[in-house]
Structures are given as C-alpha cells and as structure tokens.
Amino acid sequence: MLKSVFFWIGFSIPLTTTGNLGMSHARTPLIAGNWKMYKKIGEGVDLVRQLTPQVAGVSKAEIVVCPTFTALQAVGQAVQGTNIALGAQNCYLKAEGAFTGEISPQMLLDAGCTWTIIGHSERRQIFHENDKLLNQKLRFALESGLKVMFCIGETLEERENGNMDDILERQVHEGLSGLNEADFGRLAIAYEPVWAIGTGVTATPEQAEDAHAFVRGLIGEHFHQAIAEALRIQYGGSVKPDNAAELIAKQNVDGFLVGGASLKADSFAAIVKAGAGQ
Ligand code: 13P
C-alpha cells in the first residue's frame, strides 16, 4: 500500500509540466529523425550542420537524429554541445560475442548514442523480428543504459480486417513484457501504422489520437495508470511540415518519428518547431 502511494507521487511530477501550442501538453514532445539506410558520413554531417542552427532555439521538445551505424560517430561529434541527441536504429541483445553483423548497446553508447529505435516495422517485416526477440532486445538495451523508441503499428490489412486493436495489444503486451517502472522512464512508444510509412498517406489526427489513446489505455491496464500518463507516444508515418501541427495538437500525440522528411534540414526543422509549438 505504502509502495503504491509512493509510486503515484513519483510519477505525478512530470504530469504537471505544460508544453506546446499554448495548450496543456503533459509530456515534452520527443521528435526523432529515422534516417533509415540513407546518408553517407559526409552527407549526415552536412545535414546536422544545417539543422543545428535552425533548431537551436527549440526548448520545448527533445530532438534526436538516428543515422546509419557508419555515420553515428561523426554525426555524434557534429551534434555535441547542441540540443540534438544521437540515436541508433537497432541493436542486438548481447554486449559482445560471436554475432556477425550485429551491434551492441554498449557499442552504441561508446559511439555517443543515448537512444535507439527498436522494433521498427521494417525490422519486423523485412528482417522477421518477432515480439519475443524485440522484447529481449528492448530489455537489454534499457538495462544497458540506452533510452528506447519502441515501434508498434498495424498493417492496412490488419486495420481493414478490424484486427488493429488485437495487433496493438499483442505488440504492447509481448513487446513490453517484464519492464519495471524505472524502464518506463527511458522508454517512448512510436505508433507507426505500416500503411502510413513512406506512402504519403498520413493517419488523420483523429486516427492517430484514437490509436494513441488506445495504446495509453493498454499501458494503464497492463502496467500502471501513472506510467501510462507519463509515457510519451510518438506518431510516425508520412509526418510532414504541413501536418505536424494538427497531429501534435492531439492530447495523446507526444512527438514524432520522422522518416523521409527528416532527411532534409529544412523540413525536419519545421516539424521540430511545429512539434514544440515554437
Ligand atoms: P516516413 O516518415 O518516411 O513515412 O517514415 C516513417 C518511419 O518509418 C519513421 O520511422
């Protein structure tokens, strides 16, 4: 009983902060660029050199860029001392060993990362990563000290068949299994409907809000209401400068995971500013 009272107090603090668009936004927006398999080292460094001055004044959002592995260190050096953090796009579930082609959270931390993405739909679909594997990766990344953007989302077929809720519930339940309350402090969920990724078809603000509210409800059910309230849920899927403001205006949309539009400094900066309400 005492533990649960303490627990509530611990999680009630971030809920009092306010944020963007002059509205009460309970959680600091998290806006990340997933560069996917784009940008060689020099191109990545050029991109963040252009981006840095454009977002230097942004104080009401957390900004992350996630380059390819080969560009991490150079981009990390280029963003040192700025308000842009470095993230990776994936990592393995061991610190080291005979795992040809893989990279560990320890190596990412060594390269300057504070964040990683885990469970992107491209990893799930193209590389057949399942919920169990992703849960192991997530837990090891968190235990190693990284912060994680954990991706979930349904395909068009799943949505049209009315299976969206079941899919999201499975991904949340199995993907986040075994996490403790401290882990949630270093976790964000990225809701990325597969049908909206790279297609130019963005979820409407209402579709995003519905899915985010549903996911927040699941976290409350499976874990704790206060954890659910504090957790940031990003939207990803064809986010552009001209739809970012209406998406972030929704109560349960706490930032973005941006693909294509993060590859140009001007468009990513515009999304960051819209997301921050600045
Ligand atoms: P797009 O923004 O290109 O649709 O990609 C979204 C995404 O997959 C981010 O992780």
What is the SS3 string spanning the chain? Answer: CHHHHHHHHHHHCHHHCCCHHHCCCCCCCEEEEECCCCCCHHHHHHHHHHHHHHHCCCCCCEEEEECCHHHHHHHHHHHCCCCEEEEECCCCCCCCCCCCCCCCHHHHHHCCCCEEEECCHHHHHHCCCCHHHHHHHHHHHHHHCCEEEEEECCCHHHHHCCCHHHHHHHHHHHHCCCCCHHHHCCEEEEECCHHHCCCCCCCCHHHHHHHHHHHHHHHHHHCCHHHHHHCEEEECCCCCCCCHHHHHCCCCCCEEEECHHHCCHHHHHHHHHHHHCC
222 is catalytic: no
Distance 4 CA to ligand 1 centre (A): 38
Q: In the chain, what percentage of residues exceed pLDDT 90? A: 90
Domain count, the chain: 1
> Do the domain assignments include residue 141?
yes
- Going by pLDDT thresholds of 50, 70 and 90, the confidence category of residue 81 is very high
**Would residue 22 count as lying in a domain?**
no
CA 257 to ligand 1: nearest atom = 9
The residue whose CA is least distant from atom 2 of ligand 1 is 259
With vertex at residue 222, the alpha carbon angle to CA 244 and CA 125, rounded to the nearest 5 degrees, is: 55
Nearest CA to ligand 1 atom 5: 259
Query: Within a domain: residue 189?
Result: yes
What is the number of the ligand 1 atom nearest to the C-alpha of 117? Answer: 10
**Centroid of ligand 1 to alpha carbon of 10 (angstroms):** 34
Residue 4 lies in a domain: no
Q: How high is the mean pLDDT of the chain?
A: 92
Best residue among 151, 239, 247, 267 to mutate for probing ligand 1's pocket (most ligand atoms within 8 Å of CB) is 239
62, 129, 158, 192: the catalytic one is: 192
Write out the residue range of the structural domain in which residue 155 sits: 29-90+101-276
CATH number at residue 34: 3.20.20.70
| pLDDT surpasses 70 at 77 | yes
Q: Judge whether 119 lies within some domain.
A: yes
Give 233's strand partners.
Answer: 189
Q: How far apart are CA 210 and CA 155, in angstroms?
A: 16
What would you measure as the largest C-alpha separation in the chain, in angstroms? 56
Question: In this predicted model, what pLDDT tens digit does every residue of 140-197 receive, in sequence order?
Answer: 999 999 999 999 999 999 999 999 999 999 999 999 999 999 999 999 999 999 999 9
Amino acid letter, 2: L
The answer to the question of residue 19 being in a domain is no
- Asked whether residue 192 is domain-assigned, the answer is yes
Q: What is the mean pLDDT of residues 104-130?
A: 98
What is the reported pLDDT for 205?
97
Residue identified by tokens 């393995």 is 92
The predicted model scores a pTM of 0.92
Catalytic residue, chosen from 120, 129, 154, 209, is: 120
Q: Measuring from atom 1 of ligand 1, which residue has the nearest CA?
A: 259
Q: Given the DSSP bridges, would you call strands 147-152 and 30-34 parallel, antiparallel or unpaired?
A: unpaired
Catalytic annotation present for 246: no
- Ligand 1: which residues within 6 Å by Cβ? 34, 120, 192, 197-198, 236-239, 257-261
